[in-house]
Amino acid sequence: MLQKLLTVIRSGGTFETTVLAARLGTTPELATAMLEHLQRMGHIRPYRTCGYACGGCNLRTECPQTQPGGAMANGMQLFMLADPLPDADETKTGE
Amino acid sequence: MSNCHDTSAQTASPLAIMDVDAPLIALAGQPNMGKSTLFNLLTGLNQHVGNWPGKTVERREGHFDLNGRSVRLVDLPGTYSLTAYSPEEVIAREFILREKPSVVIAVVSAANLERSLYLVAELATLKAPVVVALNMMDVAAQEGIHVDAQVLEAALGLPVVPMTASKAVGVRELLGVVQDILSGKPAPRPLPPEVRADHRKVLDKIETLIIAHVPEPYPHNWVALKLLEGDVEVTRMMHTALPNDVWDVVHDVLRLHDDAFLAVASGRYEWIGRMVRAAVARPRVGQIGMTERLDRRAAHPLWGLFILAGILGLVFWLTFTIGSPIQAWLDEQVVTPLAGLAAGALAGAPFWAQGMVVDGLIGGVGTVLTFLPILVVFFAAFALLEDVGYMARAAYVMDNLMHLMGLHGKSFLPLFLGFGCNVPAIMGTRVIDSWPARLLTILIAPLVPCTARMAVVAFIAPAFFGANAIWVSWGLVLLSLLALVSSGALLNRVIFKGQRSAFIMEMPLYHIPNARTIGLLVWQRSLSFVRKAGTAILAMSLLVWALSYLPGGDLNTSFLARFGQLIEPVGSWMGFDWRLTVALITSFPAKENAIATLGVLFGNSPNVGLANILVASFSNASALSFLVVTMLFIPCMATVAVTKQETNSWRWTLLSVFLLLGISVAAGAAVYHLGVLFGL
C-alpha cells in the first residue's frame, strides 16, 4: 500500500489526502499515517512556506500571509517529494 | 552498532541496582500517546530521570508494587517504529532485545489507531510478550470513534486493554493482564503482518545465509527482516559479523531487492488497514461528513473552479455594494470639504504651501485613504474564506488547473501568496528546488493581482461601470490569471521543458469562523495599508505635487506635464492622455499611487469628488484600458527589488520588467481599441 502510494505520488500532480485515500481504497487517516511514514523515511518532506522562505524578508513582520488566520497559517498541511522526479533538471543556471 | 552495546549497561541506575531481581516492564509507544501519563500514574514518586548512556535522549525508570511484588518499569523513548530512522528508535529496540523485559506495554491511541499500530506491528514480531494499552478511549468517544477492544484483540492476537490513563480508567485491568503474564499464564499467539510471498523467498534466503553469524541476542529472523528493510544499523552490524564471501552474497541479494523496504512497510500498513476495518467504527456525520460533502464540489477539478469564480464574484459584489458607497461618501463629503477648509485656512499662506497641503496631501493621500472601507470589506471577505478553511480548497483546484496547463505544481503556493502581495510570493519561491522552476515562478508571480492593484480597481471600476463593476473586476482577475497561465505555459515549454512534480495537500476541516481571528487579520492588513499611505504614498504624492507645481506653479507647463507629454505618444496607444500615463508610471513605488497622482493632478476642482472628475474626463474605453494595464503592469519597486535579490541577476530582473511592460501595453492597447470599436 505504501509502495502504491509512493508510485501514485511519483506519477506527478497535485493530490489531496482524501482523494489519495480513495485511490488506494483506504481511509484518509491511514493515508495520512502513510504520508507521515514516507516523511520519516525521507521520501517526502513538509512544504515549508513563509517561516522558511521569508527568513530574510524585511516585510516579514508586516506580511499578512504569515499572521494568524493568514493563508499559510490556516491548518493546511503540505508535503512534496524530497527528491525531484527522475527527469528533473537540477542545474542552477542563474548568473 | 555502538548504540547496541551501550544499552547493556543502561540499567545500572540506582533504582535498577536496588530492584535487580524484580520483573522488568517496558512502556513503548509513539510520542503523544499518553505513555508518560501512564508511567507517572504507576510509579508516582518512585522514579528516576536521567539520560540513556551516550545519548541526550531522556531515560525514565521507576518501580511500583504489583500484588505485593516490586516491578521495575522503564519508559522507552517515543518511537514510530523499530527501524533505525532515529536514535530513539535504536534505543527502544535495543532495550527490548537486550534487556528482554518480561512484558512490553504498547501504548496506542484509540483515537488514531492508523498511526499507532505500526509500532505494534513491529513489536509483535519480537519475542517479548506484548500487551496493548488502548489509551485515550475518552478522546475517541468524544470524536464519535468506536473501537471494539475484543475484536482488536482477536485480530492482533495480543491482549488489548481499553483505558484512559489521564483519568486512571482501565489501569487496574491493564495491571491484571500484566500480572497474568508475569504469573506464567500462556499469552495468546500474536498475528503479526505477513511478508509478501515474493519477498518471503528472499527473506528465507537471507535468513539461511546469516543464521550462523547473527550475534546474540538478536533473533535471526528479525535481523533478516531488518536487512531486507535496509536498516542502517543492522546492515552495518551484519557487514562486520559476516565473512566477506557470505556478505557479498547477502549484499547482492539485497541490491537486487532494494525496493523490499517499501514492500515490508506496505505489508504492515495493509495489516493495519485490516485491523482498523475490523475493530473501528468512525462517524460519517458531523464536521467530517460535512467537509467531505462540501469538498465533493469545492475540491472538484471542474466544479471547484466554477465555485471559486462564483465566490470571487461574491467578494467583489460585497466589496462594491458595501465599500464603494462609503468610499464615494468619504470622497465627496469628507475629502473635498476638507480640501476646501484647508484652502480657506491657508488663504494667507504662500501659494505653494496651500497647493502642497490641498493638492499634494489631501488630494493624494486623503483620496487613497478613502479606499479603506473598500479594503476592509475586501480583507474581511478573504479573512472569512481563509478562516473557514476554503482557501486551501481554492489553492487545490487552482493547482490542478495549473498542472493541466503544464505549470509546475510547487509554484502555486508562492503564487497564491501573491494575492496578498507579490513580494512574499517571490520570496516564497525559495522552497522550489529546481532553479528553472523557481525562475519561471519568479517571472510570472507579478501577474498575480495583489491587494494594492485590486484597490485601484475597486476605486475606478464602480466610478466608470456602476453596477457592472463586479463583472469588470471579475474579468480583470480572470484576465490576469489567463496571462499568468499562458505566460507560464509558454515559458515552461521553453525554460522548464515540461518537468513533472508532485505535491500533496492535507486540507483542514471546514469550521465555524472565529470573529477574533478575522478581526485581527483585518486590523493588521488595514494598519499595514494606513502605514503605507503615511509613508510611500505620502512621499510620492508630495513629489508628484512638487513636479506638477514647479517651475512656475502652472500644471500645464510643469516638469511633470513636460515629462508626461514626452511619453504621451506611448500612452495614447492605450487611450491615455499624459496625466493617466504619469499616474501609471508613478504607481511604480506603490500601486495605490496611481490614484494619489490622479488626486493631485485633478484635485483643483472644488466640491466634486475625484471619481466624478475622472468620469467626466475619460471614456469608458480609456478607463478599462487603464485598469487592464494596471493589473498587468511592471510590479511595484519592492517586487522588482526582491526579484533582483532572489535571481541575483539584473538580466532576469530586466527580462521580468520588460516582459510585463510588453504584456501590459499590448493588452491595454488591444482592450482600448476593442472598447472604442464597441462604442465604450
- Residue spans of alpha helices (H) in B405-447: 412-417, 422-427, 435-444
Q: How does strand B280-281 pair with strand B146-147?
A: antiparallel
CA distance linking residue B645 with residue B142, whole number of Å: 51
* C-alpha cell of residue B328: 464615494
Output the pLDDT for position B284. Answer: 61
Count of CB atoms situated within 10 Å of the CB of B473:
27
Class of domain A2-81: mainly alpha
C-alpha cell at B26: 517496558
SS3 B34: coil
- The closest of A49, A35, A72, A15 to B432, measured between CA atoms, is A49
- Return the CATH architecture of domain B2-182: 3-Layer(aba) Sandwich (3.40)
ipTM score over 0.90, yes or no: no
Per-residue HEC secondary structure of B142-204 comes to HCCCEECHHHHHHHHCCCEEECEHHHCECHHHHHHHHHHHHCCCCCCCCCCCCCCHHHHHHHH
Q: Which of B71-85, B151-165, B361-375, B510-524 has the highest mean pLDDT?
A: B151-165
Determine the average pLDDT of the residues in B574-601.
86
Q: Cell digits for B651?
A: 538580466
Whether B16 shows a pLDDT value over 80: the answer reads: no
pLDDT above 50: residue B7: no
B46 vs chain A: nearest CA distance in angstroms?
Answer: 35
Burial class (CB in 10 A: 0-12, 13-18, 19+), A45: middle
* pLDDT tens digit sequence for A9-61: 887 777 888 888 888 888 888 888 898 888 888 888 776 554 444 554 445 55
Indicate the domain borders of chain B: 2-182, 197-281, 303-677
Q: How far apart are CA B414 and CA B449, in angstroms?
A: 13
**pLDDT category, B172, cuts 50, 70, 90?**
very high
* Cβ–Cβ below 8 Å for A89 and B497: yes
Cβ distance of B387 and A78 shorter than 8 Å:
no
CA distance B263 to B268: 9
How many Å lie between the alpha carbon of B229 and the closest alpha carbon of chain A? Answer: 11
Give me the torsion for CA of A36, A41, A44, A48, rounded to 10°. Answer: 70
Structure confidence at residue B409 (pLDDT): 55
Tell me what the pLDDT averaged over chain B comes to: 83
Q: Residue A69: what pLDDT?
A: 43
Residue with C-alpha cell 503605507?
B532
* Degrees to nearest 5, angle at CA B586 with B584 and B588: 90
What is the SS3 assignment for A95? Answer: coil
Q: Which of B131, B151, B184 is nearest to B276 (CA)?
A: B151
Q: Taking residues B50-78, what's their average pLDDT?
A: 82
What one-character DSSP code corresponds to residue B48?
A: E
Cβ-Cβ contacts under 8 Å for A79 (sequence gap 6 or more)? A35, A38, A39, A44, A45, A46, A47, B503, B504, B505, B506
Residues B488 and B323: beta-carbon distance below 8 Å: no
H/E stretch holding B223: helix B220-228
Instruction: Report DSSP state, residue B50.
Output: E
Lowest mean pLDDT among B408-417, B548-557, B657-666: B408-417
φ/ψ (deg, to 5) at B640: -65, -40
pLDDT-derived band at B54 (thresholds 50, 70, 90) equals low
The domain B197-281 having CATH identifier 1.10.287.1770: the answer here is yes
Query: Which of A65, A90, A95 to mutate: most B Cβ within 10 Å?
Result: A65
Winning range, highest mean pLDDT, from B38-47, B86-95, B522-531, B654-663: B654-663
Q: How far apart are CA B79 and CA B28, in angstroms?
A: 8
pLDDT of residue B556: 76
Residue B438, CA distances (Å) to B413, B427, B492, B643 in order: 12, 10, 11, 11
CB-CB neighbors (< 8 A) of B525 in chain A? 64
Q: Which 8-state DSSP code applies to residue B509?
A: P
Put simply, whether B239 touches A (Cβ < 8 Å) is no
Map residue B80 onto helix, strand or coil: coil
Q: pLDDT tens across B221-274, in order?
A: 889 998 988 888 899 999 999 899 899 999 998 888 877 888 888 889 999 999
User: What local confidence, expressed as pLDDT, does residue B320 receive?
Assistant: 80
- pLDDT value of position B391: 77
Any bridge partners for residue B66, and if so which?
Answer: B69
Please report, for residues B184, B429, B439, the alpha-carbon distance to residue B400 in angstroms, rounded to integers and kept in the order given. 59, 18, 20
pLDDT, mean of residues B526-547? 80
Question: Residue A83's closest chain B neighbor by CA?
Answer: B433
> Which helix (H) or strand (E) element contains residue B107?
strand B103-109
Contact A68 B430 (CB under 8 A): no
Residue B449 grid cell: 493581482
Please tell me the distance in Å from A17's CA to the nearest CA on chain B: 5
Q: B197 CA to chain A: closest CA distance, Å? A: 15
